[in-house]
Amino acid sequence: MKFFCSRDKLIKNLQIAQRAVDAKSQAAVLRNVLMDASGGKLNLVGYDHRMGIRTSIDCQIDTEGSITVPCALLIDILGVMQEEQVYFTLEDSSMKVECGRSKYNLSCISADDFPPFPKIEGKDTFEMEAGVLETGIRQTIFATNPDDHRAFMGGVLLNLEKNEIKFVSTDGHRLAMRKFDVPGGSLPTQKVIIPTRTLNELLRILPDAGEEKVKVTVDVKSISFTLDGVFVTSRLVEAEYPKFEKVIPTRAEGQCRINRTRMMGSVRGASIMARSKENRDLIEINVTDDSIKFTSSTQDVGSASEELEVVKKGKDIRVAFNSKYILDFLGAVEEDEVVFDYTEELDPGLFHTDMPGYTYVLMPIKV
């Protein structure tokens, strides 16, 4: 095995593949990245049995072959090198890395020991805009809770119907849902839960994908995404997603419209004084005729009160929420104005904007 390629491109792609490399794995081969030089391409693969990433770059191949090398070590070496081209030569089980006058030798493990990606069976394949995938993930991922013992909370539900895509997440305290219409679409009917970790890695890769289409393949136990030369495969969360529609309030007894950036400032401000051990981040919201007040207090620390003008319909309300959860919502939308629908102080609050498609249900705190 002998080839050379661009050092910059190699580093960038190694860093992508590295996200699926388990640096703490007991098995040495899983701490490595698989390098496979064939057909004018260098494929880089990281895989930890739960998630796999394959990315490829152009290279000049002298002799084809494949081998696994310690991923973090290789990135460190490439980082200190100066020249643009880097040359690789495999001798027995040692990889010689040369760049200008730098020469390094890395002990390697045979590619035969590297686990193959699981076979995809009974698949449904379709295309999705990279922007849709990115927005859908970004607006829901924060409401998952991978630490909960209820497995379905450890990922985002991707709910596909003929011409509708829904991203749904919940951690038991709130539920975020983003809906996209796909006019004239012919999507397969699918309901799968994608692990939070996979989506986090996808989010890092997606901004580079621009306007491109992402090819999605759904299988019984796994899902894979192909975009811009990167292939990501992941096991699905094996759980049934509960009927989430029933927790979305269908009626409200009051509604107020608030400027988003101002509300963000007020909520942040009020949350500064919410420091007590048992009620961390608890802020009270008090909606009266034309104003909304955010207050908090902590014994021996102090109190805060922030007031904003609102356009209100219906009844007044006094309700307490975790300020972090409100800020998550305010950070996830981009519109200037947000809408807060409410019923009673112990009933779920519904946050949304005038742009249809995004719904955020938040449970209050009992005070």
Q: Is the distance from CB of 90 to CB of 108 less than 8 angstroms?
A: yes
As a whole number of angstroms, the longest Cα–Cα distance in the chain is 79
Proportion of the chain in helix, strand, coil states, percent, rounded to 5: 25, 45, 30
Rule CB under 8 A: say whether 318 interacts with another protein.
Answer: no
Rule CB under 8 A: say whether 244 interacts with another protein.
Answer: yes
As measured in angstroms, the least distance from the Cβ of 187 to another protein is 25
* Site string (33-72) toward another protein, x via CB under 8 A: ----------------------------------------
Rule CB under 8 A: say whether 350 interacts with another protein.
Answer: no
Residues 6-12: contacts with CB under 8 Å, at least 24 apart: 6/57, 6/58, 6/84, 6/85, 6/86, 7/78, 7/81, 7/83, 7/84, 7/85, 7/86, 7/99, 8/84, 9/57, 9/58, 10/42, 10/57, 10/78, 10/86, 11/75, 11/78, 11/79
Shorter beta-carbon distance to another protein: residue 172 or 207: 172
Shorter beta-carbon distance to another protein: residue 129 or 347: 347
* Site string (110-149) toward another protein, x via CB under 8 A: --------------------------------------xx
According to CB under 8 A, which one of 31, 174, 178, 352 is a site residue for another protein?
174
133: number of Cβ within 10 Å: 24
Rule CB under 8 A: say whether 175 interacts with another protein.
Answer: yes
The end-to-end CA distance of the chain, in Å, is 68
According to CB under 8 A, which one of 112, 121, 211, 278 is a site residue for another protein?
278
Residues numbered 319-348 forming contacts with another protein, rule: CB under 8 A: 322, 346, 348
Shorter beta-carbon distance to another protein: residue 130 or 175: 175
Rule CB under 8 A: say whether 366 interacts with another protein.
Answer: yes
* Measured CA distances, 62 to 5, 65, 84, 85 (Å): 11, 10, 18, 15
Query: What residues make contact with another protein under the rule CB under 8 A?
Result: 148-150, 152, 170, 172-175, 242, 244, 246-247, 278-279, 322, 346, 348, 361, 363-367
